[in-house]
Amino acid sequence: MTSCSTTSVGGGARALLVAAALVAGTAGAGAQDRATDQLVKFHQSRVAADPDDPLAHNRLAAAYVQKARESGDLTYYGLAETAARRSLVLLPRGASAASATTTLALVHMAHHEFRQALVRAREALDLDPGEAGPHAVAGDALVELGEYDGAAQAYARLAGRDGPRGSDSRVAYLRFLQGDTAGAVATMRRAVDVVRAANPLGEPSAWARAQLGDLLFGVGDVGGAGAAYRDALAAAPGYHRALAGIARVHAARGQLREAAERYQNALAVIPLPEYATALGDVYARLGRAQDAARQYALVEYIGRLSALNKTVYNRELALFYADHDLKLPEALALARAEQQARGDIYTHDVLAWTLLKNGHAREALEPLRQALRLGTRDARLFFHAGMIHRALGDRDAARDYLGRALALNPHFHVLQAETAVRALAELGPAGGRP
């Protein structure tokens, strides 16, 4: 699968594709890609035939959003925005306007403009109170803003309009954040069943199965995660999230060469910075320092490629720098900038981590408290908490958090899991001498 378009794309997107080809070669377009490309072409032709048809622009905008979801290419969200805005100019009220406004809210989400996304979602609800989509976008925006009670209310309203299971995948993520991992997995399995029953093939089905894989991996069920990722690939061959998930499973099992190959495959589809980081870490474990350095350089290249990338990938780049002890003052600046747009627990976690890496362990305690406030059972959060308390000399708390990270998922990260093991060993048994 490639992110080649059926219409003109910007220089940034082309550069991303060139980077992907340089890193990992090319990949053949999958059936889902081709189907969406044909859909985009069809609606482009309808717009060309009648430029004043608001519904044609609206449907073209929806097709661009689907292409963006499948390919990971942010350029398509810009194209969707143009089409949706034209639809609103032509028909500023009614159901069509609500749909176009929801599309604009999705574009804001993709651009990490979460407050603007929430405003647009509420505008869409004013235009058509019975529409389900704006509730979903509003809930998603509230999650990113860290307003979890509001998000739960939005998802409850969505379920009331879109069927009792329409919001299952979103509710599953909320339950995970709130520490209910068993409930999260059960709810996500239900979401997979619903999507599979509607259509067993395609990106929506693959996305749900990959999300299930992420949840299972997070709770240490590596085998279950691998099965979910394979199911996702069956639904959409070449799906990049499934390829990266399978790579994580291989890495957790110590199958590093297989992990590297799968990360290369994922990068060939769309060069996301987290894939390049993970591949570099696998190379580091394999002792291939030069190959690791090339991947790490690619992470920075992607993160700085355009003004949009610098906004969208702030948190990923901050985490990358902190994890690898690179450009630590810049990592902290990026984390602080991200906090201006987001208030979720993972943004607080990255801020705490970058503060620690810059020698401000005491200052890291407040964002760490915010990161842990929901009781989320995430090994990465526990690892960061353990290392912060270790730096502060609070050995009991450090020992507790590092032990919880490894008990939850002893393979949570290809490099940092080993760091956690070493740090825990250095702390010694509870009650022991330093």
State how far the Cα of 278 lies from the Cα of 392, in Å rounded to an integer.
Answer: 29
Residues sharing a CB contact under 8 Å with residue 412, sequence separation 6 or more, in sequence order:
218, 379, 380, 383, 405
- Report the sign of the C-alpha dihedral through residues 10, 144, 85, 128, in that order: positive
Q: How much of the chain, in percent, has pLDDT values that exceed 90?
A: 67
> Tens of pLDDT along 65-116?
888 887 778 889 999 999 999 988 988 777 778 889 999 999 999 989 999 9
Burial class (CB in 10 A: 0-12, 13-18, 19+), 40: buried
Confidence bin at 141 (pLDDT 50/70/90)? very high
> Tens of pLDDT along 402-432?
999 999 999 999 999 999 999 999 998 876 5
Instruction: Look at residue 375 in the predicted model and tell me its pLDDT.
Output: 96
Instruction: Please name which of 13, 11, 12 lies closest in space to residue 2, comparing C-alpha atoms.
Output: 13
Residues sharing a CB contact under 8 Å with residue 59, sequence separation 6 or more, in sequence order:
43, 46
Instruction: Please name which of 102, 96, 84, 73 lies closest in space to residue 12, comparing C-alpha atoms.
Output: 73
> Tens of pLDDT along 218-273?
989 999 999 999 999 999 999 999 999 999 999 999 999 999 999 999 999 888 89
Burial class (CB in 10 A: 0-12, 13-18, 19+), 149: exposed
> Is residue 211 predicted with pLDDT exceeding 50?
yes
Average pLDDT of every residue of the chain: 87
> Is residue 27 predicted with pLDDT exceeding 90?
no
Quick one: three-class SS letters along 280-328? HHHHHHCCCHHHHHHHHHHHHHHHCCCHHHHHHCHHHHHHHHHHCCCCH
pTM: predicted TM-score of the whole model, two decimal places? 0.86
**What residue has token string 């889902």?**
32
Instruction: Look at residue 157 in the predicted model and tell me its pLDDT.
Output: 87
Instruction: Look at residue 433 in the predicted model and tell me its pLDDT.
Output: 52
> Is residue 17 predicted with pLDDT exceeding 70?
no
Instruction: Look at residue 32 in the predicted model and tell me its pLDDT.
Output: 55
> Tens of pLDDT along 50-59?
999 889 998 9
Residues sharing a CB contact under 8 Å with residue 266, sequence separation 6 or more, in sequence order:
240, 241, 243, 244, 247, 272, 275
Instruction: Look at residue 95 in the predicted model and tell me its pLDDT.
Output: 73
Burial class (CB in 10 A: 0-12, 13-18, 19+), 182: exposed
> Is residue 159 predicted with pLDDT exceeding 50?
yes
> Is residue 63 predicted with pLDDT exceeding 80?
yes
State how far the Cα of 134 lies from the Cα of 155, in Å rounded to an integer.
Answer: 10
Instruction: Please name which of 310, 382, 315 lies closest in space to residue 344, comparing C-alpha atoms.
Output: 315
Across 99-113, 165-179, 326-340, 369-383, least confident range: 165-179
Instruction: Look at residue 9 in the predicted model and tell me its pLDDT.
Output: 29
The larger pLDDT score, comparing residue 104 to residue 3, is at 104
Do residues 320 and 299 touch, judged by C-beta distance below 8 A?
A: yes
Instruction: Look at residue 202 in the predicted model and tell me its pLDDT.
Output: 86
> Is residue 434 predicted with pLDDT exceeding 50?
no
Confidence bin at 26 (pLDDT 50/70/90)? very low
Query: Looking only at Cα atoms, what is the longest distance across the chain?
Result: 79
DSSP code at position 165: T
